[in-house]
Chain A
Amino acid sequence: MIEIEHLKKCFGENIVLKDINFKVATNEVVVLIGPSGSGKSTLLRCIAKLETTNEGKIMVDNVKVTDPTYEIHKMKGKIGMVFQHFNLFPNLTILNNITLSPINVKKVTRAAAEKEAHELLKMIGLANKADAYPSSLSGGQKQRVAIARSMAMHPDIMLFDEPTSALDPEMVGEVLSIMKMLARQKMTMIIVTHEMGFARQVSDRVMFMDGGKIVEQGRPEQIFDHPQHLRTQNFLSKILV
């Protein structure tokens, strides 16, 4: 599904990703952890083609994302991305936030797009908010809508960049439970999160990043209970107390 080889990314002089290599299989849920500034967001943004890369390649379903001539919109929502700050479109209703892309990119009829949007809204427990505007929603509700908006494009993979970090604590659960549901539905996902309990529960694999490198990866029990590297141990001991 995703294959990354020798990926290198610089911001000016600053090398942010150094020789990243990994694969993600279809239906796999990978959780990415690591200290602030280790390059987690940058890695997700490179996969989503929101950043250009310097060296190496990223293949998504045999499409070479890192090809400089490849434009992001040609992916047609195949790689869904959920952002820390939701990025809902404030000028559109919740329903239109969800249907905008199916109608304009996939050329689905409005009726079909709205039917599916209503189903998605029911699934995330916001059936009564179709005609509301994003400004009237809580953070947790906004993030659930953002997930539904990506889902409407039937992505092959979903990338989550700290989807609950901007939320009040009481709203974290409602977003995580939607993500757990996606994991049960066998959605392929890469998730950056600091919610270690959740990570242990949903992930097939945990990758620990530090200083632009993947330091260690493995089954969640293995990484959380028996981390091999000192840097992983230090990071986890700080976060799990």
Chain B
Amino acid sequence: MFDFNLVINYLPYFLKGIGYTIGFSLFGIIFGTILGFLICLGKMSKMSWLSLPFKAYVGLFRGTPLLVQILVINFGVVPLILGQSNSIIAGILALSLNSSAYIAEIFRSGIQSISEGQGEAAATLGLTNTQTMLKIILPQAIKVILPPLGNEFISLIKDSSLASVISAPEVTYWAQAMNAQYYRVWEPYLTSALIYLILTLSISGILHIFERRMAVND
């Protein structure tokens, strides 16, 4: 029924796929965090003409399916910029842009969880907005921001499977390839499911240890 030999034969491809899956998610979370923070600052600006485009950006990326974004970026945006499509760049770009919209909201709620009195005290002491953000607000908000940011990373691990539709060689892509090669269903797809499960469970385990460490430091 379930032929383990087939899985073992395909293991090198799955390992390669795991590398890409983790790579997509890591780049996605890193670029997404940098971009998300900047978008959050823009969105929180008191000048409405400045915050409007950032609000539109967040609305656009949260209001349309990631799959559609991946297709548009792979077949439209990347060829427009590079002159040819590149599934790896398109995958990273789509995941980064998409997660940045969610991460911007994570930063916003983290920053807003800090009482206004903190910023007011800093301002009367002569600190600039940037100094206040870096030395007072962010160090406190980080405790609120990290847990949902970890969840976002786990979502990215799972969402990166959508990059298989543009033939990015991550885990799901190889599962589909295996399915096409052997005409088997259970071996490729159950294996890929198990891989995702191991990845997400280990990451949430690591995050838990991390959070407990931070709680102790309080």
Partner-B contacts on A (CB < 8 A): 48-50, 72-81, 83, 85, 87-91, 100-101, 104-106, 135, 146, 149-150, 153
Contact = CB atoms under 8 A, between A and B. Distances in A.
A87 B125 contact: no
Which 8 pairs show the lowest CB-CB distances between chains A and B? Answer: A87-B121, A76-B126, A101-B125, A105-B126, A87-B117, A77-B126, A81-B124, A91-B139
Contacts of A153: 125-126
B140 A104 contact: no
B151 interface: no
B139 A50 contact: no
B127 A89 contact: no
B128 interface: yes
Given A87-B118, A104-B131, A77 B140 contact: no
A85 B126 CA distance: 19
Given A89-B136, A100-B135, A104-B135, A149 B117 contact: no
A105 B125 contact: yes
8 contacts: A73-B127, A73-B129, A89-B118, A89-B136, A101-B127, A104-B135, A105-B127, A149-B125
Secondary structure dominating the interface of B = helix
Contacts of B136: 89, 91
Given A90-B140, A91-B139, A91-B140, A101 B120 contact: no
Nearest to B135: A100
Given A89-B136, A91-B136, A91-B139, A77 B120 contact: no
B206 interface: no
B93 to A, nearest CB: 35
Contacts of B128: 73
B123 interface: yes
A79 B127 contact: no
Contact of B124 (A50, A90, A104): A50
